[in-house]
Amino acid sequence: MKTSEKTAVTTLGEFRLVNRLAKTVELKQPSTIKGIGDDAAVIRYEKAATVVSAELFLEGVHFDLTYTPLKHLGYKLVTAGISDIYAMNATPRQILLSIGLSKRFFVEDLDELYAGVKIACEHYGLELAGGDTTTSLTGLTLHITAIGEAPEEKIVYRSGGKPTDLLCLTGDLGAAYMGLQLLEREKRVFEGNPHKQPHLEGYDYILQRHLKPEARKDVMEALAQHHILPTAMIDVSDGLASDALHLCRQSNSGVRIYLERLPISSETFRMADEIHIDAVTAALHGGDDYELLFTVPVTLHDLLRKELPHVDIIGHLCDASEGAYLLTPDSQAIELVAQGWRS
């Protein structure tokens, strides 16, 4: 769509803009008493604890609109917010979305962003219950508050892990970071030659993992179905090494992770070879995977193997005095370090 055909946000003003964005929001959750349209949302949970988490996305730090469609960005924002709720073994119910935007954005741009948010809300059974909009001098700023519920006795913290507990992981690692590297590479090519088409064929999986990741609602439902309550849990958003160390510190434990058990996709390996990055390093430090890392008693080993084949047992906890290490097939012990990738 040409810029001349777009609607300047200033022509609507804040109240008309909010009304436009909220007009398709329909209250469906019984716990939502009042949604968009008042000074605050009103939520009531019966016999359940409330779990709240927040995520902040800054343009130029967490996303680049050169290659990130606004609809995908809206979806990813919701994923990031509710992944933390699932990591508490809770069910997300509502989100609050706040936006800071500069004058270069138009009403239609916000329609696209909210379309992605709406798709995610429908997929995960959420309600957009409120938020705020304001002017930004530095581009696009997005903030999401995710609200969920769980019986208090079912909430899982990072601090419950015990020595000998199995360390389990949903999904694979490093693909989101490899998708980012692919997009950054093609952006540099485009800046050098705007007429050259980006080379993205054959990389659907790593692109999807970066642009439109999924929160692991399916795993949480499977754990509940088989009456498996993790002893500790965290979502993997900062890289496996950093998040495993967070869990260890909170549980006052050490950990042994086995290199050959790390789930890494073939597409991740292929992209890593192309740009001369070690795929294992990407898995340990890449981030943005939104998988779940959790511990269970060793007595559940056979049940996990039988009923949750999409969950990998990648190691185990040990005494804190034994430290945190990655073990290679040739018996080398590499100390885990919270490194992460710099933007």
Length of the chain: 343
In the prediction, which pLDDT does 153 show?
Answer: 92
CATH of domain 3-154: 3.30.1330.10
In the chain, the largest separation of any two C-alpha atoms, in whole Å, equals 66
Say which CATH topology domain 158-335 has.
Phosphoribosyl-aminoimidazole Synthetase; Chain A, domain 2 (3.90.650)
Strand partners, 149: 50, 91
245: left (phi over 0), alpha (psi -120 to 50) or beta: alpha
CA–CA gap between residue 110 and residue 313 (Å, rounded)? 42
| pLDDT (tens digit per residue) in 190-199 | 888 888 888 8
Start and end residues for every CATH 3.90.650.10 domain found in the chain: 158-335
In the prediction, which pLDDT does 182 show?
Answer: 96
In the prediction, which pLDDT does 76 show?
Answer: 98
Q: Which residues of the chain have pLDDT under 50?
A: 1-2, 38-41, 341-343
Instruction: Reduce the DSSP state of residue 157 to 3 states and report it.
Output: coil
Instruction: Reduce the DSSP state of residue 240 to 3 states and report it.
Output: helix
Instruction: Give phi and psi for 135, each to the nearest 5.
Output: -85, 140
Q: In what order do the strands lie in the sheet with 232-236?
A: 232-236, 291-296, 166-170, 311-319, 253-258, 324-327, 333-335
| pLDDT (tens digit per residue) in 15-48 | 565 566 556 556 676 776 555 554 444 567 777 8
Start and end residues for every CATH 3.30.1330.10 domain found in the chain: 3-154
Strand partners, 128: 95
CA distances for 51 relative to 31, 180, 197, 253, 279, angstroms: 13, 31, 45, 25, 35
E strand intervals along 102-202: 127-135, 141-150, 166-170
CA–CA gap between residue 161 and residue 244 (Å, rounded)? 11
Write down the pTM of the prediction. 0.88
